[in-house]
């Protein structure tokens, strides 16, 4: 008899924990279940039980950044989808819209975020940023100027930087994988 009571109490504890799932978590689960990642993207969960913090690797198969693998961290708060996920680039790369500290300039991560967007929208946006860097909205002004004035030179500089070389005296991370 006593055993049954203690079991019941333990089960009640489990139920309470389950009910603590936030609206944000529910929505993230839906986003993740609908994801159909292309072969150029891979997700990893450093803490398996934590769906709100994960990493994404993008390995573009064309464009300036082809050949490299770029790592991004995603952090989703409980107010998602009313707040945008916060996304950072984990490597130091030469890109007009990505700062050396990992800060990313992508419209849907800031002023153009709206709650009907999904994690997939953000991932597609990041992939697009690697395929088509945008010189009009720069975080790295030198890289943007380089892209605007001489596309060929920009291409050479990106190729150098993703192999761990320096551009304008700044060394970048070697991100080549294929």
Binding site for another protein (CB under 8 A): 22-23, 26-27, 30-31, 81-83, 111, 113-116, 118
Please name which of 154, 139, 122 lies closest in space to residue 37, comparing C-alpha atoms: 122
Q: At closest approach, how far in Å is the CB of 110 from another protein?
A: 9
Minimal distance, residue 100 CB to another protein, in Å: 27
| Residue nearer to another protein on the CB measure, 82 or 151 | 82
Nearest approach in angstroms of CB 18 to another protein is 14
Of residues 43, 52, 105, 131, which has the active-site annotation?
A: 105
8 A C-beta contact, residue 166 and residue 172: yes
Residue 141 Cβ vs another protein, minimum distance, rounded to whole Å: 26
C-beta closer to another protein: residue 77 or 166: 77
Q: For residue 78, what are the contacts with CB-CB under 8 A and spacing of at least 6?
A: 22, 23, 24, 25, 52
> Which of 118, 127 has the CB closer to another protein?
118
Query: Which SS3 state, helix, strand or coil, does residue 143 take?
Result: helix
| Strands 86-89 and 41-44, sheet pairing | unpaired
In the bound state with another protein, the residue whose beta carbon lies nearer, of 65 and 80, is 80
Residue 89 annotated to the active site: no
How would you class 88 by CB atoms within 10 Å of its CB: exposed for 0-12, middle for 13-18, buried for 19 or more? middle
Compute the half-sphere exposure of residue 88: CA atoms within 13 Å on the CB side of its CA. 10
Closest C-alpha among 154, 130, 132 to residue 142: 154
Catalytic residue annotation: 105
């Amino acid at each position: 008899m006593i055993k049954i009571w203690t079991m019941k109490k333990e089960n009640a504890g489990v139920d309470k924990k389950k009910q603590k799932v936030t609206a944000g978590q529910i929505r993230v689960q839906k986003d993740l279940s609908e994801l159909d990642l292309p072969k150029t993207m891979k997700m990893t969960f450093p803490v398996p039980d934590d769906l709100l913090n994960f990493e994404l690797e993008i390995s573009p198969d064309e464009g300036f950044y082809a050949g490299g693998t770029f790592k991004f961290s995603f952090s989703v708060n409980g107010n998602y989808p009313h707040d945008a996920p916060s996304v950072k680039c984990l490597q130091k790369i030469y890109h007009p819209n990505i700062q050396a500290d990992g800060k990313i300039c992508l419209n849907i991560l800031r002023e153009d975020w709206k709650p009907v967007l999904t994690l997939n929208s953000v991932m597609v946006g990041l992939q697009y940023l690697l395929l088509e860097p945008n010189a009009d909205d720069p975080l790295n002004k030198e890289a943007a100027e380089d892209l605007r004035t001489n596309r060929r030179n920009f291409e050479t500089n990106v190729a150098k930087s993703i192999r761990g070389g320096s551009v304008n005296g700044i060394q970048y991370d070697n991100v080549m994988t294929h």
